[in-house]
Amino acid sequence: MTIKVHPFFDDLTSTFSYVVADTKTHKATIIDSVLNYDPDSGRCKTQSADYLIEIVKDLGYNVQWILDTHIHADHLTASSYIKSKLGGRIGIGSKIIDVLNYWVPVFNTFHDTPLDGSQFDMLLNDGDSLPLGESFITILHTPGHTPACASYVIDDCVFVGDTIFMPDVGTARTDFPGGDARTFYRSIQKLFHLPGTTRLFMCHDYPPNNGRPISYETTIGIEKQDNIMVHTGITEDEFVQLRTQKDIGKSVPKLLLPSIQVNMRAGQLGSQDSLGRQYIKIPINTI
């Protein structure tokens, strides 16, 4: 085993970001970074990303890849900002095209959000492999939460995004545009075919009110045994019914509108007007 996983937690969005490095070559990837955003003032800050960048520099890592598991609806990605500071290539699952074709018309951002995904350096297909020193990053498409969700397999580790949560939380919602509970179940079964000792790294954790600390790591074996929504023995139809019922009446994430607009641009804030200003749009009676 030659990889080292460094987790970073943003408590305002309950998001885990990761730096994953090959310890022999110091080649590294960054997964699910966070750009801090205050919706009340409309101001972006970079403290979470700057801390991550500081650690990368201190450890002497050479960032090759900057990856997002999907277009997040609850936080802004810092991918473009990190690229400007550390280099690397920005990648996301190739099904992002489906997401762009839904959301770009909603926000009418055709002028600065290409529908072909060219704002990303790489569109990653299921089964693709990226070198990471002496290891590889294998792309595993895991749609259902969104059409473009991907998990990243590195040695015995999988960075699952919102495909599955800690066992006492269950899974992410499937009521976003393009989400589908039946597809989601099948994606989770793809993960469950991995060895039981495979380590899973969460993008979020929302522990129940039982005193459990925030956690970011579990295993396939533990999830198959203990996940409250999708453990071994739960049929596809049972999961679909349970997941659909839980999604009824769920509130929209607080940062959904800014997150999607920025994340569709790979972390860019959008084109400037004649005064050098940039804007987040709020569609009225549209979504």
Joined together, the tokens standing for residue 205 give: 């954790």
Residue 273 within a domain: no
- Whether 153 is covered by a domain: the verdict is yes
Which residues constitute the domain of residue 223? 3-251
pLDDT in tens, the chain (287 residues): 689 999 999 999 999 999 999 999 999 999 999 999 999 999 999 999 999 999 999 999 999 999 999 999 999 999 999 999 999 999 999 999 999 999 999 999 999 999 999 999 999 999 999 999 999 999 999 999 999 999 999 999 999 999 999 999 999 999 999 999 999 999 999 999 999 999 999 999 999 887 889 999 999 999 999 999 999 999 999 999 999 999 999 999 999 999 999 999 999 999 998 899 999 999 998 77
Residue 268 lies in a domain: no
CA distance 120 to 123: 7
**Phi, psi dihedrals of residue 3, rounded to the nearest 5°:** -100, 150
Identify whether 275 is part of a domain.
no
How many structural domains is the chain composed of?
1
Gap between the Cα atoms of 219 and 166, Å rounded: 9
Rounded distance between C-alpha atoms, residue 168 and residue 145, angstroms: 18
Residue 258 in any domain: the answer is: no
Is 75 part of a structural domain of the chain?
yes
* C-alpha–C-alpha distance, residues 167 and 207, integer Å: 10
CATH of the domain at 128: 3.60.15.10
In this structure, the strands spanning 199-201 and 217-219 are antiparallel
Query: Contact, 163 vs 192, CB < 8 A?
Result: no
Does residue 161 sit within a domain?
Answer: yes
230 Cβ contact partners less than 8 Å away, ≥ 6 residues apart:
164, 170, 171, 185, 188, 223, 239
Residue 283 lies in a domain: no
